[in-house]
């Protein structure tokens, strides 16, 4: 795909509910700016105050004068003309903010959520690979671009100092623990057990932003702080992945970050997990990607099983084909450019495409 250019007087907006969303967007923004397309950040300042405070603090440190910051609350009574809005998922808060809407995926897992009806809201969906494209495509709106966030991994744009420091001091394996949040989080069931493992491994811990900032996650955050305060380092996901020999997680989308990075990945289970996957109790179920991947990866229920998985006796599956099919169809560090091409193409379109009548008809009925 060659570079798509667009004449664009109004900025492309990028919707944020957490600073993590900036990491999802930044390589798309860079590629659009290279084409002369102005961009702006739209922060949701009507959600939980802890998330708003975290975003404001992050953006102050970011210091990007080339990226205007627009507050969602202001846009609703003082509209700013946006040519397009890019968002990670649909929320009624973003309805009618722009004539064109594009979804930039922020991760995999929780298919009952990620592949749901609201994908019809989008004129374009930027898909990592065939796995998602096949499941959300309506009249060609799902486009294959790869994972723009992982451009930094493939182009080695991350701080290697943690990996280098741990490599110099290495006497035992480095294990990265990255749990999800909510009912599917392993922290209440595994924190004490993993703490006991610290005499055998160098343990790094990466908490989900939901655990860090949602008020209802206070107990899990307190548990993590109690056992792992010294293990939670202020390093990027890619710096942590580069340092890790193994990744331990649960039902998190971080499973697929670990697989994308080629890491040996172990999944935690516990008594009571299975019922959470039935009767729509959570956003996951037995057919969701975060569950079906378990047929390939070691899953453990006890410290003894975890030690076995961390031993040299564990046979690790070859996941290369899975990475291409699910994590990133290209893995070449150019996903941001392809995403910008899709957005530019949409900006150059005029009116309703008759070939996409089904999509527009669904949108009129649903939204």
* SS3 per-residue string spanning 183-241: HHCCHHHHHHHHHHHHHCCEEEECCCHHHHHCHHHHHHHHHHHHHHCCCCCCCCHHHHH
Decide if pLDDT at 356 tops 80: no
Boundaries of CATH 3.40.50.2000 in the chain?
A: 12-153+333-366
Number of CB atoms found within 10 A of residue 317's CB: 12
For 281-338, write each residue's pLDDT tens digit. Answer: 998 999 999 999 999 999 999 999 999 999 877 788 889 999 999 999 999 999 999 9
Name the helix (H) or strand (E) containing 249: strand 246-249
Q: Where is pLDDT greater, at 347 or 356? A: 347
**What strands lie across the sheet with 84-87, from one edge to the other?**
69-71, 39-43, 12-16, 84-87, 101-104, 124-127, 142-144
**d(Cα 266, Cα 28) in Å, to the nearest integer?**
31
**In 3D, which of 48, 30, 49, 50 has the Cα closest to residue 39?**
30
**d(Cα 166, Cα 241) in Å, to the nearest integer?**
12
**d(Cα 127, Cα 207) in Å, to the nearest integer?**
25
For 189-236, write each residue's pLDDT tens digit. Answer: 999 999 999 999 999 999 999 999 999 999 999 999 999 999 999 899
For the segment(s) 12-153+333-366, the CATH number from 3.40.50.2000, 3.60.20.10, 3.40.50.720, 3.40.50.300 is 3.40.50.2000
Name the helix (H) or strand (E) containing 277: none
**Residue 293 has what pLDDT?**
96
Q: Where is pLDDT greater, at 104 or 78? A: 104
For 45-99, write each residue's pLDDT tens digit. Answer: 999 999 999 999 999 999 899 999 999 999 887 777 899 999 999 999 999 999 9
**d(Cα 245, Cα 314) in Å, to the nearest integer?**
14
**Residue 6 has what pLDDT?**
64
Beta pairing, strands 101-104 & 202-205: unpaired
**d(Cα 283, Cα 8) in Å, to the nearest integer?**
38
**Residue 354 has what pLDDT?**
60
- Angle, helix 20-34 to helix 335-348, in steps of 10 degrees: 70
At residue 28, the 3 state secondary structure works out as helix
**d(Cα 121, Cα 366) in Å, to the nearest integer?**
8
Cβ-defined contacts of 75-78 (< 8 Å, 24+): 75/42
Q: How many helices (H) and strands (E) does the chain have?
A: 17, 12
Tokens 């039935």 sit on residue: 278
- Whether 38 and 110 have beta carbons less than 8 Å apart is answered as no
DSSP 41: E
- Whether 296 and 327 have beta carbons less than 8 Å apart is answered as no
**d(Cα 224, Cα 190) in Å, to the nearest integer?**
10
Decide if pLDDT at 352 tops 60: no
| E strand residue ranges, 286-359 | 299-300
- Angle, helix 49-62 to helix 20-34, in steps of 10 degrees: 40
Tokens 């949602």 sit on residue: 214
**What strands lie across the sheet with 174-177, from one edge to the other?**
202-205, 174-177, 246-249, 264-268, 299-300
Q: Which CATH architecture has domain 157-327?
A: 3-Layer(aba) Sandwich (3.40)
**Residue 63 has what pLDDT?**
87
Mean of per-residue pLDDT scores for the chain: 93
| pTM: predicted TM-score of the whole model, two decimal places | 0.94
For the residues of 82-102, what is the DSSP string, one character each?
-SEEEESS--GGGTTS-SSEE
**Residue 186 has what pLDDT?**
97
Average pLDDT over residues 242-254: 97
């Amino acid at each position: 795909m060659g570079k798509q250019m667009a004449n664009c007087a109004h900025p492309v907006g990028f919707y944020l509910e957490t600073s993590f969303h900036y990491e999802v967007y930044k390589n798309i923004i860079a590629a659009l700016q290279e084409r002369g397309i102005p961009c702006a950040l739209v922060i949701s300042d009507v959600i939980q105050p802890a998330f708003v405070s975290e975003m404001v603090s992050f953006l102050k440190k970011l210091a990007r004068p080339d990226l205007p910051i627009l507050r969602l609350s202001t846009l609703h009574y003082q509209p700013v003309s946006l040519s397009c809005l890019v968002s990670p998922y649909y929320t009624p808060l973003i309805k009618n903010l722009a004539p064109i809407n594009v979804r930039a995926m922020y991760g995999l897992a929780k298919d009952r959520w990620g592949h749901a009806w609201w994908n019809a809201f989008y004129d374009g969906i930027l898909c990592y690979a065939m796995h998602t494209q096949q499941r959300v495509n309506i009249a060609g709106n799902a486009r294959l671009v790869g994972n723009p966030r992982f451009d930094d991994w493939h182009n080695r744009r991350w701080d290697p100092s943690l990996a280098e420091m741990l490599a110099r001091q290495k006497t035992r394996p480095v294990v990265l623990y990255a749990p999800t949040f909510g009912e599917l989080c392993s922290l209440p069931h595994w924190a004490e057990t993993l703490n006991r493992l610290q005499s055998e491994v160098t343990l790094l811990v990466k908490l989900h932003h939901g655990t860090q900032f949602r008020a209802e996650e206070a107990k899990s955050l307190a548990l993590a702080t109690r056992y792992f305060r010294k293990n939670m380092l202020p390093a990027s996901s890619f710096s942590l992945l580069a340092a890790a020999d193994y990744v331990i997680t649960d039902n998190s989308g971080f499973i697929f970050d670990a697989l994308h990075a080629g890491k040996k990945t172990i999944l935690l289970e516990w008594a009571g997990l299975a019922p959470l996957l039935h009767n729509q109790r959570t956003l996951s179920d037995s057919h969701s990607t975060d569950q079906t991947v378990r047929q390939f990866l070691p899953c453990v229920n006890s410290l003894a099983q975890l030690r076995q998985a961390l031993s040299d006796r564990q046979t690790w599956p070859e996941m290369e084909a899975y990475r291409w099919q699910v994590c990133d169809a290209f893995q070449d560090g150019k996903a941001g450019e392809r995403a910008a091409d899709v957005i530019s193409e949409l900006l150059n379109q005029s009116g309703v495409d008759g070939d996409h009548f089904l999509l527009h008809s669904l949108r009129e009925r649903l939204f």
